[in-house]
Structure 1
Amino acid sequence: VKELFQGHRQRVRGVVPRVGRGGWYVVLRGITNVLLRDLNTSLVAEQLVRGTPVVVVDLVDYDEIAHHAGPQRPESLRALEGLDRVLGLLEQVCAVAPRDYRVVVLSDHGQSLGPTFADAHGSTLTELVTALMGDDPQAVDVPSGEDMGPINALLATVFPSRAEPSPRTGRLRVRRSPVADGGTTTTVPEVAVVGGGNFGCVWFPREGHPLTLEEVRDRWPHLVPGLAAHLGIGLVVARTAEGEPVALGLRGLRWLVSGRVEGEDPLDGWPEHAAPDLARAVGLADAADLLIVSAVTPMGHVHAFEGQVGSHGGIGGPQNEAIFLYPADLELDEGQGLVGGEAVHAQLLGWLRAWGLR
Structure 2
Amino acid sequence: MSSLQGVCRGFMAFSAILLLSQPVVANENVVGRAALSPEAALASDEGVARDRQLASPLQLPAKTRSILGLPNANVGPEAFGAGGHPFTTQRASRSDGIEPVNSYPWRAVGKLIMTFGNQRAVCTASVIGKSLLVTAAHCVHNYGSRDEGFATAISFQPARHEGQKPYGVWTGKEWWIPKVYHEGQDTCLPQAPGVVCANDVAVIVLNENDGKMIGDVTGVLNLPPLNNDTDKEDSYGYVFFLGQNATQLTQLGYPSKDFDGLTMIRTDSLAYFEDPSNVILGSNQTGGSSGGPWLQNFGTPTSATGPAPSAEQIDTVSAVTSWGYNSGTVKVQGASRFSRNQIYTEKTNIRSLVGDACAANPNVC
TM-score (normalizing by structure 2): 0.22
**Structure in which a larger fraction of residues adopt strand:** 2
Indicate the structure (1 or 2) with the bigger Cα radius of gyration: 1
- Name the one with the larger helix percent: 1
* Greater relative CO (CA pairs within 8 A, separation 6+): 2
TM-score, with structure 1 as normaliser: 0.22
